[in-house]
C-alpha cells in the first residue's frame, strides 16, 4: 500500500469484504454512490444504492461467503476519482464452486466520503482466443 489511491481502495475493499461475509445488502449499498452503475454476476444493470441493495438481497444465502481481492491496481484519475482493477475470488461454501472474476471500480469522492460509482465484474475466461 504505497499511494493514497491504494489506501482508498483497500479501505473500501475491507468494508466490502466484511459486508459480503454477512451478505449485508444495506452495508454493501452504503459503499456506493446514489448514481452508481453496477454490473455483478448477472446481465442486469443495477443503478444507485437501491439497485445495489436489490442485487445483494437477491443472492443465494450461502452459509459462509468470503471474498479475496488480488492483483489490485489503483490510480488517481483526478483528486476526486480513483480507478481500480483486480481479481475478486468468492468462496461461497463447501458445496459451492469458487468463483473468480475480473473486477473494476470507479471510486469518487462524494460529500466528503469515497463511494463506488461504477462496479463491473466479468469472466476471467477469455471470450476471444
- Condensed to tens digits (0 to 9), the pLDDT of residues 89-112 reads 999 888 888 899 999 999 999 999
Joined together, the cell numbers standing for residue 32 give: 456506493
- Give the integer Cα–Cα distance in Å for 60 and 97: 13
- Give the integer Cα–Cα distance in Å for 94 and 92: 7
Is residue 114 predicted with pLDDT exceeding 50? yes
- Give the integer Cα–Cα distance in Å for 120 and 102: 8
Q: Answer left, alpha or beta for residue 22, where phi above 0 means left and psi between -120 and 50 means alpha.
A: alpha
Joined together, the cell numbers standing for residue 27 give: 452495508
- Condensed to tens digits (0 to 9), the pLDDT of residues 42-90 reads 999 999 999 999 999 999 888 889 999 999 999 999 999 999 999 999 9
Q: Give the chain's length.
A: 129
Amino acid at each position: 500500500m504505497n499511494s493514497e489511491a491504494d489506501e482508498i481502495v483497500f479501505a473500501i475493499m475491507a468494508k466490502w469484504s466484511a459486508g459480503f461475509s454477512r451478505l449485508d445488502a444495506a452495508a454493501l449499498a452504503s459503499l456506493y454512490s446514489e448514481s452508481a452503475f453496477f454490473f455483478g454476476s448477472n446481465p442486469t444493470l443495477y443503478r444507485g444504492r437501491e439497485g445495489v441493495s436489490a442485487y445483494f438481497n437477491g443472492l443465494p444465502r450461502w452459509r459462509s461467503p468470503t471474498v479475496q481481492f488480488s492483483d489490485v491496481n489503483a490510480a488517481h484519475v483526478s483528486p476526486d476519482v480513483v480507478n481500480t482493477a483486480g481479481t475478486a475470488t468468492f468462496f461461497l461454501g463447501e458445496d459451492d464452486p469458487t468463483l473468480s472474476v475480473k473486477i473494476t471500480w470507479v471510486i469518487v469522492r462524494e460529500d466528503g466520503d469515497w463511494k463506488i460509482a461504477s462496479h463491473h465484474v466479468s469472466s476471467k475466461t477469455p471470450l476471444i482466443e
